[in-house]
Each structure stands twice: as C-alpha cells, then as structure tokens.
Structure 1
Amino acid sequence: MYTETLNNTEQYEDDEIILDLSGLFEDYIRCLKRCWLQLLLVLFMVTALGVTYFNISYQPSYEAKITYAVERTGDTGIDASIAKRLSLSIPTLTGVKDFQQDLTENIKTKSRSGNYTFRSVNTEGSNLFTVYVSTNNYKNTNIFLENFKKIYPGWASDSVGTVELQIADESQAGTTPSNPYSLPKSAGMGAVAGLAVCFVIATIYVLSSKTVRKESDMKKVTVKSCITVIPDVKLKKRINSQKEQLLITNRRVDWGFRQSILGAQSRIERQMEKENKRVLLVSSTLPEEGKSLLALNLALAFEQREKNVLVIDGDLRNPSIGKLLGLEEGHKGLSDYFKKGSSLEEIIQTKNNIDVICGGSIRNKASSILKKKEMDQLMEILINSYDYIIIDTPPSALFTDAAMLSEYADAVVYAVRHDKPTTKEIKEGIDPFIRSGKLLGYVINRKPGGYSSYGKYGRYSQYSSYRKYGKYKKYVDIDEKTMNTEDSL
C-alpha cells in the first residue's frame, strides 16, 4: 500500500534539477508573459539609474598633441630606436617630481594634481613619436602642452644623451572635448545593464519555480503516468449568445481539446476494464484546476462509446456539475437524499444522455451529510444500474471530503493545472490516493499551445469563489455557504 510513497521518497527526495534547454526556454517565455510589466519596470528603473550615474560621473577630456622627429645620427634605424626609447619613457618621465614642478608652472593649483595625463605613441620603424596630453580644461591642456614643449628637449637629452628633436606636428585642444557626452550611449549602456538584471531575475524565477509544467515535473510526486495533456483553449465569443461551456458535445469546442478528452477516456476505460473497476473519482489539489469539467467531459466521452454513465457531484460545499450542464438550480441532489429523505428517482436528472446527481440544496462538508451505511447501500444500487460512475469532489489539498469519497471509488484520476499548484501542494493532495493504491494517473490541464488553435482557455472564474482556507487562504473562501460554482478547466 505504501510502496509508491516509499519509492517516491527515495527516488525524488533530493529534487534534482534536470537542465532541459527547451524546457528552460519555455519557462523564460512563461516568466516573460506572466511578469512582463514588472520586468519592464525593472528595465526602465535600471536604465534611468544608469543614465543618472553616467551623467554624474562624466568628466570631459580635452586633448592636445605634439609629434617629434628624432635626428641624432642620420641613421634611420638608430634614430627609430631612440624615438622608441623616448616614447616608452614618457609615462616614467611625467611621474618625476622635478619634471612635474616644471610642467605645472603657470597652471592653476586646483588643476595641477591628478587631472592631467600623458601618453605617447611611436610608429614602429620610424623616428617619429607623438605625445598626447589630456586634462578636464582645454585652456590648461594647451598650457601643459606649451610647458612640455619648452622643457622636454632638455629632459630628453639628459635621458638618452644629446639629441635633436624636431617638431613635426602640433595640435592644440579645442573647446569640444575628445570624449563628448552621449545620452543615447548612456541610455544604451543602462538598458544593457537593465536587461542583465531582468535576465538574472527571470533566471531566479525559473530555477525557483516548483509548479508542474511538464510530465517530468510530476516524477517528483508519483511514478504513475500522465493520462493526457489538455491544451489551453477557449470558445470564441458570439454576439448576443449565451455563455457556452467547454464540453465535448459542443461542436465549437477546439479539436485538440476534444481529442485529448477522448484519448483520456479511452485509456481510462481500457485500464478500468482490465482491473474490473466501475467507479472513478476525479479530484485536484486546488480550485480552478478543472476537475469538474474533466469529470463531466469524461462522462460525455463514455456516453459516446455507448456506456451507461452516472455523474455524482460530490463537492457538497461548492457543487458545479448542474450549472455546467445548465440544469435547474435548487434541484434536489445528494444532500437532499441523505438529509431530507428524497428518493433516488427525485435526485437523478438526465442531460446529454448521461444521468446526473447534483450536490443538492444543502451545502456542507461531506462528513456532515453522508452516512456510511446509506452511502454503501446507494453505491450498491447505482453500480448495478450503470456501466460507470464518475464522482466529482472538492479540492483534496483543502478538504478531507475527497479522501472520504474515495472509499466508494475503484480508481482516481487527478487533475493538475499547468503552472498552478506547487509539487509540494500536489504531494499533500494526492497522497491519500497513492496510499490507498487507487490512483490511476493524472491529467495536466490547460497547457499553453498543444493542439489548440485559439491559444487560451475561457474565463470561467466567476463560478469559483474558493479564496482562503487555513494555510491555503489564497485559494479558498471560508464562507462555504456563499460559494459559487467552480467550472474552470
């Protein structure tokens, strides 16, 4: 009975991460779709901060240059070698204290230290070398150049011996800095930084996400296989038409959706026939995962295969099957059978060639309504009257009703909505069915893409008002009597 639970614990305890490039790409796209506004704000803020930083830290640089030609021996090779030595010695020379004192003559005190730089470039094999001087003030730059021009020949002779330096070219600094400030460039660099931050945020989101998005994610929960993956689709709206449900009997329902349901029914029927099982329970972890529509569509699929099917709405807190089928509200149902003594004939309704027992007029937890002895007798009568019975239940991670009703079922199909419950929440909800050995498999619901030609599922959330309940307050409403019907798939 506990074999699967033990195997799961041993095999998936470490929750090892498998790097699937295609899966990671899908996760990044999903993050972008879900959090695009937040990421856009982050990108804008980082870009603005980058522009502000570059604007504050910007220092203009004005550059002047002088080119010397070495004439000492008349030998081109020797003069080129001397030019190279003089060029390489410029950084060292400009760092000598005595040279600096001569250089900074007539320069404003605040502009002397740390605000000028010298560099030199030598043309290989040539007796020419160029000295560049840069400061943050173009007037001081030109003064530095003039002072350098006066004192450098003497210092050069002291360094390499008597040498004659001819000025081949000279260019003073103008009023335009050599590094003009560029707002587009600052914005571009800020945007690159913003994109990097967004990528880091998205990566953290992707790697920390614990929801189910593909079949391999469920390996952390159960060794049972996926029965089917239902695509995320919706019906196109028609003007002045009543709201339609995603039922396979509706001709306007997407082909991929219909095929996924029919495929699931075929696999379930084959497995249940093989094991001589007749009663199927459908549950999920949280509200709005699609268990009610899944249960109803499976019943309709069984009917299309000429099976005599009954659907029982076991979600006595928040019944939904009747509303999905468009049945009369307030009709007697399961709760009336146990609490008001209604007859079996009074609570069974027929729609689309399937029989239905709705939740009834009394809303409460199953343990307060159902009586074991009477429920056993009822199920015995129903099993003898139908080929298959499908029971819809409340979310199993929120209430114990599903686990209690599973006592009357032979098999359980678990609905998992794509990217909604975490694997931890699924483990809590699915555990009673694993322990009982009745779990047949699971269905991944509302997966984007797939066979769908429309792309999104319809918005049926107005029927669901589960909002808060214990540690799942974000999912369930504690005011059970005012709950509406959940029909979101």
Structure 2
Amino acid sequence: MQDDLQRGLYDDEIAMDLGGMMDDYLRCFRRYWMQIILALAAVTAATVLYLNITYQPVYEAKITYSVTKTGDTAIDASIAKRLSQTAPGIITGVEFTKEMLAMVEGETINPNYKITASNTEGANLFTITVSANNYLNADTIADLLEVIYPEWASRSSGTVEMQVVDRVESGGVPVNSYSLVDSIVKGIIYGLAFCFICATGYVLTIKTVRKESDMKKITDLGCLALVPEVRFKKRKNKKRNQLLINKKRVDLSFKQSVLSAQQRLEKRLEQSDKKVLLISSALPQEGKSVLSVNLALAFSERGKKTILIDADMRSPSVSSILETDPGKNGLGEYLTGKAGQDNILVRITENLHLIPAGKIKGELSVILDNDRMEKLMEQLKVSYDFIIIDTPPSHMFGDAALMMRYTDASVYVVRYDYAEINEIREGIAEVNRGQKLMGYLLNRGQRGISSYGGYGYGRYGYYGKYEKYSRYVQNSEEEELDTESTL
C-alpha cells in the first residue's frame, strides 16, 4: 500500500514536470513566435538553396545476366551470387579498366561513375548497375561491360554461360530527379528541428519562478496566495480602470486570491501581536503596489482600521491606483519637516487612510536619518489596527531594508516568469532581516486560480537609468493601454 502511494506521488510529479515543460514550450512560442517563424523560414530557405546548389543528377544503366554452368538451379544460383559479389571489384580493377578504355576514345568516358551488383535470391540471375552523372557515360560503360565482363567472369569462376536477359538504358532521365516540394518539406523539417532545439535550450535555462516548487529553491516559507492574471481589452476612450477589489465588476478569482491572502496575514499578525506589514518585490512591474493597495482595502473591508504608506518615493504609484491627488503632501514632506502628520493623511474609506509618497523624490536613506519616522510609526500604531508599507524593489534599492526597522513583518511579491531566482533570493534577504518574512504572493500566475494583469503598476521611468534593469521598464503608453478593462 505504501509503495503504491509513493508510486502514485512519483507519477504525479512526473506528470506535473511534463506539464510544466509543455507550458514552458508554449510560453516560449508565445513570447518568441515572430523569431521562431523567422528562424523556420530562414532554415527552410537555406536548406532549399543548399539542396539546389548541391544537386547532382544520377543516371543508371542496368544489365541483368542469367548464369548457367551445371544446370542445377541451386548451384547456378550460388554461382550468380558469387559473381554479384566479385563483379564490382573486377570491373573497377586496373587491368579491366585499361581494357575497357582501350575500346573507346578516352574523352568519351569520365571517371565519375560507380559500379554495383546484386543478385536475385534463389535464382541464377544477377544485375550490374552503372551509376553516373551523365547519361551517355552510364550507357557507354554499360555497353562495354556487356562485351567485356563475361570473359572476365569466366576467368574467375571457370567456364560459365552468361546471357543478357534484360538491358535497361538510362534514357536520359535521372533516377534522383530534383523536386522543389521535397526540398521545401526537408527544409521545414530541419527548421522545426532547429526551433525545437533552441526552444529546449530556452526551457532548460529558464531561471524565473513559474510555480510554487521553484520558490522552494529560495525559501522554505509558503505561498500566501496565487494571484491570477486577468486579461484586459483596450478601450478607445483610454480611461484608466484600476483593478481593485472594491470595484463592482472586479474579476472574482482575483478578489478571492487577495481576500485569501489577507485572511491568512490577519490571522498570523494577530496571533503574534503584530501590526506593521511591509510589502516589496525584487524588480519593478511585479505588481507589489497594486497588491499593497488591495490588501489594505481587504483589511479595511473586514472592519480593520488600516493605513497604507507609499514609501516608494523614487516612483510613487499608490495615489494613482487609488485615484487620489498625487500632488498632496506625503511621507517625503513629513520626513523633511515640511508637513505634519495631520497634513499628510488622505481618507480613502471610513476604515482606510493613505499616506502618499509626496512630491519629494529621492532615496529614503537620505531623509530617514532622524527620529521623525519612528515617531510617526509609534503614533500610527496607536491609531490603527494595521499599517501596510509599499516600498521600492528590494533587489534594486536598499529602501525596503531601511524600512524594516519600523516593520513587524513582510510579504514578498513574486511575478510569474519575471525576475530571476538569484534576484528574488537577494531581494528576499533584504526584507527577511530578523526572520520577519511571512511568505510570498505568486502574482500573475498562468495557471491555478486564474489570470490578472493589465492594470497600472506606476511609471518606473526613474529606474530606467539603471542600465541593468532597463529591460523591466515599460513606457507609459503601454501601461495605459494595459489598464483598459473588459469587466
């Protein structure tokens, strides 16, 4: 029974791995379909060109002999078989070639020919085939063999009677006629094989997270929720429609994922008497700000007095997601002493308040070197049940690590098939100081609960000056197009 159970688990793992590889191949095609089609076309064209250039016609002339020596069919068949085995060696020998060439002018025969022989099993018949790249060459050599070879065969096998029972001339038609269709088919096969090899190389070298088991290479902590990807359709009016759980027509699977994560976090935070939750990710565009906002909304909808702090002063986006005035004083003004606590609070709902990033851009490390942040956090802990802090990407910047001193716990957002494993590992280390990490959210998953994406992540143009990470930066036009919802 135990063995059957283990065998079943093993079979399930194999099925999951195979299914995962198939998903990887499909993702490779979706992502690089244009390059794949171009590669297929290029290999096909190169194959057709090569086969056309290297094509050499082959003409064949054949002579079939019957062998009679004893009158016994079995013995004569044996002699015919032996002659078919020795004929090529005799015919291509130096003396035989001299005698053959002496019968014709040398220029009428070129050395580009091949002699083969075969016998009919159980019969006293064998066939000599002359192959050449010129039909006149093949026919001329066959004519000479018909005259000369019987005498040479008698020298090696004793007196035998050989009669020509069939003679086939080349007729000027090559046996390997060129076919453009066949060349194209071969080219397509070679092209598909090349693309498959390249795709396999891609699949075997993927270093991003695509499933929960990939995260086990990084952390032993579990997944708080699989947040699905929701596809959105572009709208002509360009109206931004943020993906928020308090919207009436929000995707149900997305809302369920957020609520599930919130309930788990609430339970763990209350059990350990913690209030301050930091949320970060390895790279921009992973959806941490949207999830920070939605988790804050989820806490508030459960009757918990919640405040959300946008600590990403490098590229703030929370105000845009919540559709509040981004020009209002915020955390930056408070930390620099330009505004008081009462001047930076924004009421979103009865139970949810926001402290925006403010208009001051820059690094937290420059303005955190005072006691104003600590004082603010102490006051907020008295007034609110939960405090959620959205920070810049922790793999790129040290802001999240600086905020950890004011944080009770942290959650990491990992976007499906985006950041590399080593980037996630290094980023998680920054927000797990003091073992504060409670788990991670696998965002924009392709399988599982469902699908999401297309909402604004905020404009990370500022990060674009870091050349290593510029590939993660999307321009603002693409982001706006992504926000159009069909819900």
Structure 1 stretch 102-111 or stretch 210-219: which is displaced more?
A: 102-111
1:374 counterpart residue number: 372
Partners of 1:237 and 1:196 lie apart in 2 by 37
User: Residues 423 and 471 of structure 1: is their aligned pair in 2 closer, same or farther, counting only changes over 3 Å?
Assistant: farther
Structure 1 stretch 282-291 or stretch 425-434: which is displaced more?
A: 425-434
Is the Cα contact below 8 Å between 2:317 and 2:457 reproduced in 1?
no
Structure 2 residue identity aligned to 1:284 = S
2:18 counterpart residue number: 21
Q: Deviations over 1:447-476 (max 9, x none)?
A: 224333xx5621636733244355634268
Which residue, out of 83, 87, 107, partners 1:86? 83
1:202 aligns to 2:199 (yes or no): yes
Provide the secondary structure at the position in 2 that maps to 1:312. strand
Provide the secondary structure at the position in 1 that maps to 2:79. helix
Q: Deviations over 1:295-315 (max 9, x none)?
A: 001011112212111101111
User: Residues 103 and 63 of structure 1: is their aligned pair in 2 closer, same or farther, counting only changes over 3 Å?
Assistant: same
How many angstroms does 1:188 deviate by?
A: 2.0
1:293 counterpart residue number: 290
Q: Deviations over 1:198-243 (max 9, x none)?
A: 2222222222221111222222222211111211213445554721
Partners of 1:371 and 1:426 lie apart in 2 by 27
Partners of 1:241 and 1:183 lie apart in 2 by 51
Structure 1 residues without counterparts, runs of 5 or longer: 1-18
Structure 1 stretch 419-428 or stretch 189-198: which is displaced more?
A: 189-198
Is the Cα contact below 8 Å between 1:336 and 1:342 reproduced in 2?
yes
Is the Cα contact below 8 Å between 1:465 and 1:476 reproduced in 2?
no
1:280 aligns to 2:277 (yes or no): yes
Is the Cα contact below 8 Å between 2:227 and 2:452 reproduced in 1?
no
Partners of 1:169 and 1:306 lie apart in 2 by 101
Structure 2 residue identity aligned to 1:54 = L
Partners of 2:56 and 2:142 lie apart in 1 by 20
User: Residues 25 and 266 of structure 1: is their aligned pair in 2 closer, same or farther, counting only changes over 3 Å?
Assistant: same
Partners of 1:324 and 1:387 lie apart in 2 by 23
How many angstroms does 1:161 deviate by?
A: 1.1
Partners of 2:167 and 2:47 lie apart in 1 by 38
Provide the secondary structure at the position in 1 that maps to 2:216. helix
Structure 2 residue identity aligned to 1:417 = R
Which residue, out of 158, 168, 171, partners 2:168? 171
Structure 2 residues without counterparts, runs of 5 or longer: 1-15
1:100 counterpart residue number: 97
Partners of 1:92 and 1:71 lie apart in 2 by 22
Provide the secondary structure at the position in 1 that maps to 2:432. helix
2:411 counterpart residue number: 413
Which residue, out of 241, 246, 251, partners 1:249? 246
1:40 aligns to 2:37 (yes or no): yes
Partners of 1:487 and 1:117 lie apart in 2 by 68
How many angstroms does 1:371 deviate by?
A: 4.9
TM-score normalised according to structure 1 size: 0.88
Structure 1 stretch 38-47 or stretch 409-418: which is displaced more?
A: 38-47
2:208 counterpart residue number: 211
How many angstroms does 1:390 deviate by?
A: 0.3
Q: Deviations over 1:254-282 (max 9, x none)?
A: 22211111111111111111211111000
1:463 aligns to 2:445 (yes or no): no
User: Residues 466 and 23 of structure 1: is their aligned pair in 2 closer, same or farther, counting only changes over 3 Å?
Assistant: farther
Partners of 2:31 and 2:315 lie apart in 1 by 29
Provide the secondary structure at the position in 1 that maps to 2:44. helix
Structure 1 stretch 101-110 or stretch 264-273: which is displaced more?
A: 101-110
Partners of 1:107 and 1:100 lie apart in 2 by 13
How many angstroms does 1:91 deviate by?
A: 1.8
How many angstroms does 1:430 deviate by?
A: 1.4
User: Residues 400 and 147 of structure 1: is their aligned pair in 2 closer, same or farther, counting only changes over 3 Å?
Assistant: same
1:224 counterpart residue number: 221
Alignment of 1:25-424 (within 5 A): 25-104=22-101, 105-106=103-104, 108-109=106-107, 111-113=109-111, 115-238=112-235, 240=237, 242-353=239-350, 354-424=352-422
2:437 counterpart residue number: 439
How many angstroms does 1:108 deviate by?
A: 4.7
Partners of 1:197 and 1:315 lie apart in 2 by 45
How many angstroms does 1:394 deviate by?
A: 0.9
Partners of 1:235 and 1:189 lie apart in 2 by 41
Provide the secondary structure at the position in 1 that maps to 2:404. helix
How many angstroms does 1:23 deviate by?
A: 2.1
Q: Deviations over 1:34-57 (max 9, x none)?
A: 222222222222222222221222
Provide the secondary structure at the position in 1 that maps to 2:392. coil
Is the Cα contact below 8 Å between 1:413 and 1:439 reproduced in 2?
yes
How many angstroms does 1:364 deviate by?
A: 2.0
How many angstroms does 1:111 deviate by?
A: 4.4
Is the Cα contact below 8 Å between 1:67 and 1:168 reproduced in 2?
yes
User: Residues 107 and 23 of structure 1: is their aligned pair in 2 closer, same or farther, counting only changes over 3 Å?
Assistant: farther
Which residue, out of 464, 468, 476, partners 1:472? 468
Query: How many equivalent residue pairs?
Result: 463
How many angstroms does 1:93 deviate by?
A: 1.4
Is the Cα contact below 8 Å between 2:332 and 2:360 reproduced in 1?
yes
Provide the secondary structure at the position in 2 that maps to 1:178. coil
How many angstroms does 1:337 deviate by?
A: 2.1
TM-score normalised according to structure 2 size: 0.89
User: Residues 456 and 60 of structure 1: is their aligned pair in 2 closer, same or farther, counting only changes over 3 Å?
Assistant: farther
Structure 1 stretch 132-141 or stretch 180-189: which is displaced more?
A: 180-189
Partners of 2:481 and 2:255 lie apart in 1 by 17
Q: Deviations over 1:95-124 (max 9, x none)?
A: 2111122334426548432x1112222111
Q: Deviations over 1:354-409 (max 9, x none)?
A: 11111112222112333542222211111111111100111112221111111111
Structure 2 residue identity aligned to 1:263 = S
User: Residues 293 and 214 of structure 1: is their aligned pair in 2 closer, same or farther, counting only changes over 3 Å?
Assistant: same
Structure 1 residue identity aligned to 2:316 = P
How many angstroms does 1:325 deviate by?
A: 0.7
